[in-house]
C-alpha cells in the first residue's frame, strides 16, 4: 500500500527542467513514490548533522564541509557526497520501517554532474529506488561569505 508524505518541493513536473521551490503548498499536496524518496533524501542531505535538537545523528556533514572550504575539487566533492549518502542510507536503514513499498525506499544516490564556483555549488543527483525506477534533479547550493 502506497504511503504519503506532505509535499514540500513545489513546482515539480514529471519531466523537463523546472524551478522547484522549498515550501508548503496552498492548498497542500501529498507525494509518494520516487518523488517522496527524492524529497526525503534531499532534505536529509542538506541538513547539517547535529543541528536537530534531540536527534544528533540526523543529517550529513556535506554543508559543513562545503562552508569550511573543504570541498575544493572533484575528488573532495565526490568524497563528501559519498560520505553524505552513506550517512543518509545508514540513518534510513536504522529508522525506517522495512514494510514500506520498494518504490518508496532509497536504493542509490549518485553524483551525475557538478558545477563548483566561488560561493556556489550545483550538483546533479540521480536517485534510484529499491523498485528500480530513478530520477535526476539538480540541487543548487549557495554559500555566503558570512556563513
In b/e form, how buried is each residue of 15-29, taking b as 16+ CB within 10 angstroms?
A: eeeeebeeeeeeeee
Residue 14, phi-psi category: left (phi > 0), alpha (psi -120 to 50), beta (remainder) = alpha
Q: For the CB of residue 64, give the shortest distance to another protein in the complex, in Å.
A: 18
Nine-digit cell string for 116 = 563548483
Pairing of strands 120-129, 106-117: antiparallel
**Residue in 29, 91, 130, 143 binding another protein, rule: CB under 8 A:** 91
Q: How far is the CB of 31 from another protein (least distance, A)?
A: 8
92 contacts another protein (rule: CB under 8 A): yes
Binding mask 103-122 for another protein (x = CB under 8 A): -x------------------
Q: Which stretch binds another protein (CB under 8 A): 31-39, 60-68, 75-83, 119-127?
A: 31-39
Amino acid at each position: 500500500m502506497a504511503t504519503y508524505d506532505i509535499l514540500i518541493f513545489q513546482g515539480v513536473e514529471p519531466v523537463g527542467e523546472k524551478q522547484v521551490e522549498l515550501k508548503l503548498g496552498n492548498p497542500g499536496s501529498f507525494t509518494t513514490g520516487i518523488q517522496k524518496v527524492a524529497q526525503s533524501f534531499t532534505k536529509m542531505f542538506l541538513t547539517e548533522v547535529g543541528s536537530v535538537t534531540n536527534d544528533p545523528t540526523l543529517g550529513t556533514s556535506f554543508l559543513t564541509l562545503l562552508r569550511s572550504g573543504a570541498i575544493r575539487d572533484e575528488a573532495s566533492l565526490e568524497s563528501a557526497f559519498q560520505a553524505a549518502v552513506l550517512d543518509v542510507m545508514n540513518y534510513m536503514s536504522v529508522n525506517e520501517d522495512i514494510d514500506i513499498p520498494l518504490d518508496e525506499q532509497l536504493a542509490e544516490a549518485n553524483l551525475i554532474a557538478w558545477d563548483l564556483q566561488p560561493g556556489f555549488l550545483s550538483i546533479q543527483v540521480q536517485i534510484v529506488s529499491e523498485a528500480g525506477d530513478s530520477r535526476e534533479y539538480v540541487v543548487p547550493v549557495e554559500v555566503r561569505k558570512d556563513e
